[in-house]
A and B are shown apart, each in its own frame.
Chain A
């Protein structure tokens, strides 16, 4: 064991000390966080300029005072003003734009125009549309002369946004979000694909390098070939784990900083308020302080809070544990195959013919994983998450949608068994291959090596 740890530490330290490794390791979480953060910052930096908007109606006075002023906009109702004359002068008059409402609006949705020099923010447009819609609906209802119509209207006013709640085995309800599961599935599957490919190829290159620069004979006069091979595979696995550990820690650190600086309130608390106020009582007193507090939040803040809460409600222990196991054994399986290829080939270009059959299941796995997100319980998804060469990628895509635990265990056990079989075969190919020069290697040849004795 002394030798194998010496080999592992060389494989590990030479890679970890490389500049490219350090840069990759530190930069990736920053890019990752930026990926999330930039849209948030853009949203937060929306046009906050105060706007005065002139409201002009053509002939009628239906909407006077309907659109109420907001924090960022005043709506000034101008009677008896010609829209065409104001069109050229509204800027000098201090207006951001003109909201022109034609009398046909009750039947023709396109009858409203917002005339401005700049592109108005989405949020403002939504506000105007919603207000007008509600008002027109109310007016239409009133036309039926129902008694107490105002009171009725007030009480039926509703705002619906579907929240999905999944009840777990203990009967505990959790708010979940298909979007969040999708993202996790995608990230998990893609990371697994990257790991297998990135680190597997590193193993192949390392083996090939040793064979090619002829240091291998010196080393195997001290250690067994299989020790050298395993030392390399394990060393590179540790490099990968180090990288991921740094990535996870850095991402969390950055997210924590961001959370406390960018987001205004504690999103978790807000989200809990929303959920509890919805869940606890059916007949909510609309004037209750708690609900009012929630309703006071902007839609954007609520969305953030909910997203954050969904992330917290994900089954992280299961995902991270399975990720760890699939990482280790998926990598080991592929790394042993890659090591065999690296030992067998004589030139770089020879690797191509052997790369294809290895790449095939990896890419197939990724494709199935992408399809899996649409339907995580399909039999295709099930079988590909059991077959060892695709299971790491496909299962990582299924787990965020909650997979029965026995399926995960069976899949991991099958993976481990396959890995043991393959490492045995690879060691046999490796042992012969590393000392074989100047020969074009075929599958038939490799099969003969497997059957060599001694």
Chain B
């Protein structure tokens, strides 16, 4: 059962159609990637879910009912364009944002202190925001987004501004939140994090959904009989009637060859051909990266 479902959501700004009949279904306890080039309409969709703007047509349902302002207490939203009051103290500010989400003061302080300790920013509690690095500000924003234990979390580019160590920390926390029952929508341009974390995606381009589904399924569909073969020493694989060699790379006594088969010959046959060519180290289906799929789908859509 989906936690969030949008159906035919359409939003028209004066001269520009921001969303065109967008339907999307976010399964409960999944991590759902919302992909697409800049200006595709992702932020508009997220704002509609957060009821910052209203759709012209279509519906948004949460937990089987039409979403309303009451549901905002169960949603955590970290917008892409996010900031903090620069002159306000960190602790006061986090408390303020938590209270706006409906937490009472005692619970909010207790929760904030726990999270601040966990993310190692507790020493900054009484400092002003302007004294903090960008990464620390991002941590504070992350904490205030999740503090009220929302069942739906929406992150818009959550990793921008984080160094690799903190990005890893954040990823782990997001995965933990999912284990604890939260459903996560996250919008990003960072395709490696999509491969790493997302179960499902929707790719929006020019106001429409042009690709959606499970990440592993999509990658398999786009794999199109490509394989990556690694040999010991220098090996030269020639084209054959059943496959063509896309790429050959040799270094450190290893040769990596990428081949694309025509799909007529079974994998066993190809492997036999390969073992004939040299000493095999590994043979793997080469899944296209989400990055490749993104570029190919969007380029194809442009040519339509």
Contacts and interface: CB of A to CB of B under 8 A. Distances in A.
A219 B77 CA distance: 10
Contacts of B69: 224
A220 B52 contact: yes
Interface string B98-122: 0111100000000000000000000
A244 to B, nearest CB: 24
A214 B86 CA distance: 11
Interface string A191-232: 000000000000000000110011101111111100000000
Main secondary structure of the interface of B (DSSP, over half): loop
Given A14-B87, A213-B85, A214-B83, A221 B102 contact: no
A87 interface: no
Interface in A1-34: 2-3, 6-7, 10, 14
A219 B88 CA distance: 15
A3 B88 CA distance: 19
A317 interface: no
Given A3-B100, A14-B88, A213 B83 contact: yes
Contact of A454 (B54, B75, B84): B54
Given A14-B88, A213-B84, A218 B141 contact: yes
A440 interface: no
Nearest to A18: B87
B85 A221 contact: no
Nearest to A10: B96
A215 B85 contact: yes
A7 B96 CA distance: 8
A221 B81 contact: no
B100 A6 contact: yes
A231 B303 CA distance: 50
A448 interface: yes
Interface in A54-109: none
B79 A221 contact: yes
Interface string B49-65: 01011111000000000
A435 B86 contact: no
Interface of A: 2-3, 6-7, 10, 14, 209-210, 213-215, 217-224, 435, 437, 448, 453-454
Top 6 A-B pairs ranked by shortest CB distance? A454-B54, A214-B83, A213-B83, A222-B100, A217-B79, A221-B77
Given A7-B100, A221-B50, 9 more contacts: A6-B96, A210-B85, A213-B86, A217-B81, A217-B82, A218-B79, A218-B82, A218-B97, A437-B81
